[in-house]
Amino acid sequence: MNTPDVIVIGGGTGGYSTALRAAALGLDVVLAERDKVGGTCLHRGCIPSKAMLHAAGLVDGIAEARERWGVKATLDSVDWAALVATRDDIVGRNHKGVEAHLRHAGVRVVRGSARLTGPRSVQVEGGDGGDFTARRGIVLATGSRPRTLPGLAPDGRHVVTSDDALFAPGLPASVLVLGGGAIGVEYASFHRSMGAEVTLVEAADRIVPLEDADVSRHLTRGLKKRGIDVQVGARLLDAKVPGGGVRARVRTARGETRTLEAERLLVAVGRAPVTDGLDLAAAGLATDERGFVVPADWDRLETAVPGIHVVGDLLPPPSLGLAHASFAEGLLVAETLAGVASAPVDYAAVPRVTYSSPQTASVGLGEAEARARGHEVVVDTMPLTAVAKGMVHGQGGMVKVVAEAGGGRVLGVHLVGPHVSEMIAESQLVVGWDAEPADVARHVHAHPTLSEAVGEVFLTLAGRGLHQQ
C-alpha cells in the first residue's frame, strides 16, 4: 500500500488533475494534501472570487436597469451574510465534487504535510501519513502564496491579501489596491460595484502590464468610467494602520507624494511558490533565485532528478500561474508517467482572462511582443460598440487581432468588454491551430452577438470586410 506508482504532493488544480489522469490510466496514486483538495483556486481564489464578481454584476445590473432602461429598480442593501453563504455553498459543493472524483478514481488521499526523503521517497507527517516510495515518480504541486510587502503584515481586516480579502468582515466604504495585475483589478472592480471608493495603484506604466497595450488602455478607460482612481507608474512609500483603516503614502508618476486613506488595503503584488517544508535537497533538488522549481525538460515537466516532475505555480515562466494551465500540466505529467505520448503544453495558446467589469481575455502574442520576436504583422481592431449587441450592452470594449503579414497565421487575439471570458475559446483554437484569417473568415458568426465582432475582424484581415472597410 505504501509503494504506489505515483506520489503527488499537493491537491490543488495541478495536483488533483495529475492524480485523476494517472489513476484513469491505471496507475496507483497517492495524493498528499495538508489542507483541502482543490487548493487556492477552489477555496480562496478562482471560484469564490468569481462567485463574488457575479454578485457584483447583479448589483451593477440594477444601476444599469434604472439609468439606461427605465426600469425603476432600487438597491436597498447587500446582505453580506447571505452573499457569503451562497459563495460558500458553491465552494463547498465543488469541494465535495473533487473529493468524489478522487474517491471514484481510486486515488488514495493522505492528509498531512509531505516532505521528500529521497528521489523516490516521501514522508507524510500528521493525519493518516507515513512513509511512501514511488515506483514511477513524484509530482510536486504545492502551489503558491500571496507575496507581501516588508513592514506591512496582513491582519485579515485592514490589510489583506488575495487569500483573505474575500473573508474579511463586511464591505468597506473605501479600498486601496496595490497591484494592477489580474487579481488587483478584479478586487478593485468588485469593491467598486459594491459601492466602495477605490484607488488602484500599479508600479508599471499600465495596468495588466503583461497584456497587449491596447487591452490595458481600454480596461483603464472602463475602470475610470466606473469611478475607480487608477494610478499607474506609482509606488508605495509607506503605509500605517492607525486604527480604523489604512493611511498610505504613494509616489505618483509625476513624482508627487499623495497620502491615501482607506478602510482596507489589498496587497496584490503577485504570488510566490511554496516549497518550505518540502526538503527539496533530500532529493537532490533546489529552487532558482526566485523560488521556482525549474524543469530540466519542459516537454515532460521533469526536473533534473529523473522521475520528479513539477506542475502549477511552482513552475517559472513560460508557465502562467493559471489554474487551467495547471490542468494541462497535470494531464501532461500523468500521461508521461504512464508512458502515454503527450504533447507539451503550448503556453502561447493558453487563454488569459481578467474577470473585472469590463473583462479582458486574450490568447497568443500582443502586437509589441510579436514585433519584438521579428514577425512582420498586420493588426485590425474593432470596437464592440460597432456591432448591435455591443450597443445593447453599452460597456464599450474592443477586439484586436494580430496576424502575420501577407495572409499568414493569427498570432494573437485580444478582447475587452462584457462576457469576453466566454468568447475567447474560439480564438484559442484559431491561435492553437495556426489558422489564418481566411480560414476563420469562411465561418459564419451568429447575429446579433458580441462574437460577430471577432468574425468581422477576421473578415477584414482576409480582405472581405463587410462593416469594416
Active site members: 447
Distant-in-sequence, close-in-space partners of 413: CB < 8 Å, separation ≥ 6: 362, 363, 364, 399, 400, 401, 402, 424, 427, 430, 431, 454
Return d(Cα 261, Cα 146) in angstroms, integer.
23
Return d(Cα 166, Cα 264) in angstroms, integer.
12
Return d(Cα 390, Cα 417) in angstroms, integer.
9
Q: Could you tell me which residues are beta bridge partners of residue 415?
A: 361, 399
Strand segments, DSSP code E, in 101-195 are 108-111, 113-116, 121-125, 130-133, 137-140, 144-146, 159-161, 174-178
Return d(Cα 297, Cα 263) in angstroms, integer.
47
Return d(Cα 111, Cα 32) in angstroms, integer.
6
| Strand duo 264-267 + 174-178: pairing | parallel
Grid coordinates representing 185 are 483589478
CA max distance for the chain = 68
What is the edge-to-edge ordering of all strands in the sheet holding 130-133?
A: 113-116, 121-125, 130-133
Secondary structure of residue 211 in the 3-state scheme: coil
